[in-house]
Amino acid sequence: MKIAFIGDIVGRPGREMIKIHLKKLRETYEIDFVIANYENASHGYGLTPKNCNELINSGVDLMTGGNHSFDKKEIKDIFESHPLIRPLNYSDEVAGEGYKIVEVKNEKLAVINLMGHFGMPFIENAFLKINKKVDELLEEGIKNIFIDFHAEATAEKRALFMMLKDKVSAIIGTHTHVGCDDLQIVDSCAYLSDIGLTGCRDNVIGMDKREPIQRMLTGLSGHFDVPKKCKKILQIAILDIEDGDAKQFIKLKVFDDSRVIKSEAYID
């Protein structure tokens, strides 16, 4: 199976890049299933039903979240009606699920959303929670396992990779909005510290630069806003997975001025 993953979609600019480019990318690279992180998709904070439908109509099959998953109150209803998950290590008392099992080319694929600890809300231990869930999936005979690890610290992401690399198919980081190019395949597991944002590329983590700069100068927090006009980027990972093993892994940076930069994973 060939799956693709798009990181933090930030506001209208991010949604526009997906609407313009995703269906063509699916055709060109013969992608069977697309996963995308929604947590910043609606003006930078959470997801609305309208924007959820927009992304699905643009070619996204399943969406993952993070620390902004619950910023829009409507999210509870969307969980029940749309292919949407939130981090596995949120309390079982909150709405939504932390993973989904889907059929792709007559094979089962488990997609798990997990959240780290540094700088994040109060949640259950990510490493204990994911260890248990992965073992359960393997006992069920599910070999194709993809994890979106939504975390600030690269050390947490790397530690998770070292812990699970012989058990899962891929671990790709989200949350920082800053794309990395350390893509690799080790012990048949694909890894990337952070796929990076899809949205504005000429500001600060997809947001208008003025408020972040003011925060750095004064220490006072204000509301971050997604710019109405900006230069844009779409960052997408594409993976070939066979019988639970990652066989090929590339990353594309698609710019709004028609440039495309391709990176390929090294294999150990």
**pLDDT for 23:** 97
Which residue spans within the chain are E strands per DSSP?
2-6, 33-37, 62-64, 99-104, 107-115, 144-150, 170-174, 184-186, 189-192, 199-200, 232-242, 245-255, 260-264, 266-267
User: pLDDT tens-digit profile of 211-245?
Assistant: 999 999 999 988 899 998 999 999 999 999 999 99
Closest by CA to 176, choosing from 118, 234, 221, 128, is: 118
pTM passes above 0.95: yes
Range 176-201 average pLDDT: 97
DSSP state of 9: B
**pLDDT for 106:** 95
**pLDDT for 230:** 97
Question: Is 243 in a helix, a strand, or coil?
Answer: coil
Query: And the tokens for 162?
Result: 């070292």
**Annotated catalytic, 68?**
yes
The number of folded domains in the chain is 1
User: pLDDT tens-digit profile of 56-86?
Assistant: 999 999 999 999 999 999 999 999 999 999 9
Range 150-158 average pLDDT: 98
CATH number at residue 151: 3.60.21.10
User: pLDDT tens-digit profile of 92-140?
Assistant: 999 999 999 999 999 999 999 999 999 999 999 999 999 999 999 999 9
**pLDDT for 12:** 98
Closest by CA to 35, choosing from 114, 147, 133, 138, is: 147
Query: And the tokens for 226?
Result: 């997604």
Q: Of residues 68, 150, 175, 177, which has the active-site annotation?
A: 68
Enumerate the H helices of 32-74 as residue ranges.
Answer: 49-57
8 Å CB contact between 236 and 18: no
Alpha carbons 266 and 268: distance in angstroms, whole number: 7
**pLDDT for 222:** 86
Q: Which domain holds residue 183?
A: 2-267
Other CB atoms within 10 Å distance of the CB of residue 206: 27
8 Å CB contact between 111 and 102: yes
Mean pLDDT of the chain: 97
Closest by CA to 268, choosing from 148, 179, 161, 172, is: 161
Query: And the tokens for 49?
Result: 């039903």
Range 204-212 average pLDDT: 94
Task: State the amino acid at position 102 in one-letter form.
Answer: V
**pLDDT for 221:** 85
